[in-house]
Amino acid sequence: MQVHQIRFQNREEIRRAMMHLGVDSHGTEIMLDKAYTLTYVVENLTPRQAQILKQEALGAGADAALPRDVFYMESNGHCKALLFGTPSQIRYASGKLKLQPFGLQEVGQELEKMLSGTDHQLPAKLQMTDTAISLDRPIIMGVLNVTPDSFYDGGRYSDSESAVEHGLKLAEEGADIIDVGGESSRPGAQPVAPKEELKRVLPVIQKLVRNCPTPISIDTYKAAVAKEALTAGAKFVNDISALRSDPEMCSVVKDYGAAVCLMHMQGEPQNMQKNPRYDDVVVDILDFLRERIHFAVNSGIDKGHIVIDPGIGFGKTPEHNVKILRHISEFTTLGVHVLVGASRKSMFGHLFGWPPEERLEGSLAVAAWCIEQGVSILRVHDVKETRKVVDTVAQFQLVKDD
């Protein structure tokens, strides 16, 4: 007889472990709530609110960590609390908090909203226009920059012929989606007029759609560009502004039934790397993406069409990027699939001094980490190599312990 300790990062890891044991599927869903622990940061609490929160958490079998001097704080002071427990415990505590005075009803309501994203299994497929992609294992989005100034491959595929050739190569190497972009979003990049952006991407999309079955994504925050690309056959909109830049973008995505990626970016490409600041980078981005999902759904976009991206390198320091990746599994609790684009990013240069052409191994290491943390989509430059990583990790996940 032996006992082993196992650390699970997310619900999907626990679900897979139970499946490997042969646990009944109904029993698996019941026990997930008991095996998985959630942690929430509750901010701007008065001492009285914090003490009641602690009381209700303990009453539910959960707990709340408070500053040790909370009992001696002035009544108008404020503090944070860490609330942690299983989903069922948090759900019970949120119901009790909704009955409390002193503004704690709002805390209970907010916890219920967050739990609604945690309680539901992620969609099995990513829906886009007239097709869907299975997400039973991570999928790869290949980067195709039709630009003269992108940080890694700028100018390599700036004419449509070479761009189409590279797009077909990405598909052959195993890309599940090809992401075509006509405007660089590297730090300091200048905006491109819609007419010029369309001149760059439209011929490429049209030829790829005719010659390649792999779904095409348009990397743009402009509704006019997205509309023309979707009309030409693209099925996915990768919007670095998370539907904030162009008020018409929601309607375009909804009308075409496209998939959409909502990315976090602090500032704009021209200024986003000028001293980015956060109270807590993970909590702040989670709050932002939660609001963006809510906005998209309320605007008529089906939740099964939505993907989120924490925006590695977009208004973040290298330390911010590392912290986001360390906690990337937390983003899977929002009820939609997570995309990560860390391929050959400048953080590798800042952390290790590697130039873009020497960042492949680091990019693959991050890809493997993200897969283990529950990330569903990897946006990469090096499709062939990343495909080997995805297939290798998937093989390990399929092997049952004796």
Active site (catalytic) residues: 345, 379
Q: What distance in Å separates the CA atoms of residue 294 and residue 374, rounded to the nearest whole number?
A: 22
- Give the single-character DSSP code of 221: S
Report how far apart, in Å, the C-alpha atoms of 350 and of each of 285, 286, 319 are: 22, 25, 10
Q: What distance in Å separates the CA atoms of residue 201 and residue 164, rounded to the nearest whole number?
A: 10
Q: What distance in Å separates the CA atoms of residue 17 and residue 401, rounded to the nearest whole number?
A: 10
Q: What distance in Å separates the CA atoms of residue 163 and residue 306, rounded to the nearest whole number?
A: 27
361, β-bridge pairs: none
The distance of Cα 250 from the centroid of its chain, to the nearest Å, equals: 19
Count the helices and strands in the chain (H runs, E runs).
14, 13
DSSP one-letter string for 305-335:
GEEEE--TTSS--HHHHHHHHHTGGGGGGGS
Burial 223-243 (b: 16+ CB within 10 A, else e): bbbbbbbbebebbbbbbbbbb
Other beta carbons within 10 Å of 58: 13
The tokens describing 158, both together, are 């700036």
Burial 337-352 (b: 16+ CB within 10 A, else e): bbbbbbbbbbbbbeee
What are phi and psi for residue 53, nearest 5 degrees? -60, -45
- Give the single-character DSSP code of 266: S
Residue 19 exposure: Cα atoms within 13 Å on the Cβ side:
9
- Rounded to the nearest 10 degrees, the angle between the axes of helix 87-97 and helix 47-59 is 130
C-beta separation of 125 from 135 below 8 A = yes
